[in-house]
Structure 1
Amino acid sequence: MTSEREQHGAPAGNLALVTGASRGVGRGVALGLLAAGFRVYVTGRSIDQADLPPEMRRLRCDHLKDEQTARVFDAIRSECGRLDLLVNCAWGGYERMAEGGAFTWPAPFWDQPMHRWTGMMDAGVRAAFVCSAHAARMMTPRHRGLIVNISFWAAQRHLGNTIYGIAKAATDKMTSDMAVELKPYDIPVISLYPGLVRTEAVLAAAESGAFDLSTSESPEFIGRVINGLFHDPNLMTRTGQVLVAAAVAKEFGVLDIDGKSPPALTLADI
């Protein structure tokens, strides 16, 4: 039995995997990369039901289960033989923010439900680590690739709850240390901070006045920024760094889907 790769040859163009692409930032990244000409693989627990174009290769995956993650990379290796870009968006930290009629998200650490640790650290940080390890095994022999970890300002100040800060700080440290080990192979690793993104959850909350969307970003904007980074000939000079998506966009002249240039938030703005 021949594989797709054997039948049709390795695919032309750049190949990206976006984890956690069923909704939110992950879905937007996948759409942005597809529009930029990438061949896009997407994963998620509910990826089969996601509102995504048929051109994307959907691989259902619960990244809490290592064997399912391994099957994703086995499929990419079998069908394409390579991976050019990994964007780690898988994240379970925004699930079950309210329980029993109480909004538990901002509770002190001693009152936090432990499923939040699992959602942020295991479905988030650990999933990114495991996916990056698989990706590195495919990228290092070719000395080509880029790994992007979606992170946020909670790494640098208290925002919401302690577990959130731990998870984002761990993501940034993971990025920094992976960059050291991948530098001899010319593979950059970046932590990327979005601003306020118009995800499904944010739009729903905005209807009640919870958010001012005047300076917000579309989910696709992040994909556009990542495409700009991928094609930056000097990207290795940024490896291991934390980058603010809107600041990178201004540098590269990248606009949002509405033609606007979102402001680059700073720590003082958060």
Structure 2
Amino acid sequence: MSSLSNTTALVTGASRGIGRGIALALGDAGATVYVTGRSVGADRTDDLPGTVDETAGSVTERGGRGIAVQCDHTDDRQVEALFERMDRDHDHDHGSGGGLGLLVNNVWGGYEGYGESFDGPFWEQPIETWDRMFDAGVRAHFTASRLAVPRLLDADGGLVVTVSSGHGGRFRGSVPYDVSKTATERLTKTMAHELRDTPVSAVAVQPGFTRTERVLDAVDEDEEVLAGTESPLYTGRAVVALVLDDGVADRSGGVFRVGDLARAYGFTDVDGTRPAPFDLPGDPL
């Protein structure tokens, strides 16, 4: 029996990229995985490869059970409908994986349409950049978390993992980006504080430079640029390790680099390497 065969997970923003890698790693461990995102069929975000249906199908092929749900996580009604769908599925067939045990907050719309302005000074940034990073990032994480936690409590415990980025000790290269990722990590810490006397834990993870579809498109698969990068499954394996850790409550409220978790738990990337923890270049703050 697979190690997470009795676990039901929700991974938001899993059409592609790190979310897809997390969903696939959970599938490798036998979990039931709800895969959400906006991309279905030919209607794909920024015309990048990957859809919720493709990811869910791959989860099933790898030994788990993938369930695709199209959902725009900036639309509260769609998010509420998603959780209601999961409730109905559980009531109808609770033997397929049990109640919700894991929420992975990964959805992120902050890169959409930013162009070269991303690296410009904040006074030259369009306000839409800030809005996307907070609405389709921090707010989306909060919305999913506030709906997930009562269900995790009803299931006698669980875990909320929120995907962040960069290194909190250094400037992340853009004011809206830095502030939104800092807020994501603060959200994790404060949720963990309020959950401290419950069986639900909350942690944040910081992937390194990851070979997502967007990154590969941006660098034109330049081997020199991609040297030392990690696959999306590396973060996925970190999430699986956290779920399997009986002592994860001791980590609640923490922000962990994936490379550090790999060394702590002993997992590797898909090629057998163990990429080092990500040290973001830039000015310390």
TM-score normalised by the chain length of structure 2: 0.84
Amino acid of the structure 1 residue aligned with 2:269: D
RMSD, aligned α-carbons: 2.0
Deviations 1:114-170 (A, max 9, x none): 221121101100000000001101011333110001001254322221000110010
Deviations 1:38-82 (A, max 9, x none): 111011111456132423111111111000000111111111252
- Out of 110, 117, 122, the position equivalent to 2:123 is 110
Amino acid of the structure 1 residue aligned with 2:108: W
Q: Distance in 2 between matches of 1:266 and 1:202?
A: 18
Q: Which residue of 2 aligns with 1:182?
A: 195
Q: Distance in 1 between matches of 2:134 and 2:30?
A: 32
- Out of 13, 16, 19, the position equivalent to 1:23 is 16
Deviations 1:73-125 (A, max 9, x none): 11111112521000011101111122xxxx11112112111221121101100
Amino acid of the structure 1 residue aligned with 2:36: T
SS of residue matched to 2:161: strand
Q: Which residue of 2 aligns with 1:85?
A: 102
Q: Which residue of 1 aligns with 2:138?
A: 125
Amino acid of the structure 2 residue aligned with 1:121: F
Distance 1:240 1:78, change over 3 A: same
Q: Distance in 2 between matches of 1:262 and 1:249?
A: 8
Provide the aligned length of Structure 1 versus Structure 2. 256
Q: Which residue of 2 aligns with 1:76?
A: 86
Deviations 1:224-250 (A, max 9, x none): 110001111111111001101111011
Q: 2:56·2:68 contact (CA, 8 Å) conserved in 1?
A: no
Q: 1:178·1:240 contact (CA, 8 Å) conserved in 2?
A: yes
Correspondence 1:201-220 to 2 at 5 A: 201-207=214-220, 209=222, 212-220=225-233
Q: Distance in 2 between matches of 1:86 and 1:37?
A: 16
Q: Distance in 1 between matches of 2:19 and 2:178?
A: 20
Q: Distance in 2 between matches of 1:202 and 1:105?
A: 14
SS of residue matched to 1:119: helix
Q: Distance in 2 between matches of 1:231 and 1:206?
A: 35
Q: 2:5·2:31 contact (CA, 8 Å) conserved in 1?
A: no
- Out of 144, 153, 164, the position equivalent to 2:166 is 153
Q: After the TM superposition, list the runs of 4 or more consecutive aligned residues in structure 1 that deviate by more than 3 angstroms.
A: 208-211, 266-270
Q: Distance in 2 between matches of 1:211 and 1:137?
A: 46
SS of residue matched to 1:183: coil
Q: Distance in 1 between matches of 2:167 and 2:73?
A: 23
Distance 1:79 1:97, change over 3 A: same
Amino acid of the structure 2 residue aligned with 1:28: G
Q: Which residue of 2 aligns with 1:52?
A: 55
Amino acid of the structure 2 residue aligned with 1:249: A
Structure 2: unaligned runs, 5 residues or longer: 43-50, 61-65, 92-98
Q: 2:34·2:56 contact (CA, 8 Å) conserved in 1?
A: no
Task: Please say if 1:242 is aligned against 2:255.
Answer: yes
Identity %: 38
SS of residue matched to 1:153: coil
Task: Please say if 1:253 is aligned against 2:253.
Answer: no
Q: Distance in 2 between matches of 1:173 and 1:53?
A: 31
Correspondence 1:23-42 to 2 at 5 A: 23-42=16-35
Measured after TM superposition, the shift of residue 214 of structure 1 is: 2.1
Structure 1: unaligned runs, 5 residues or longer: 1-10
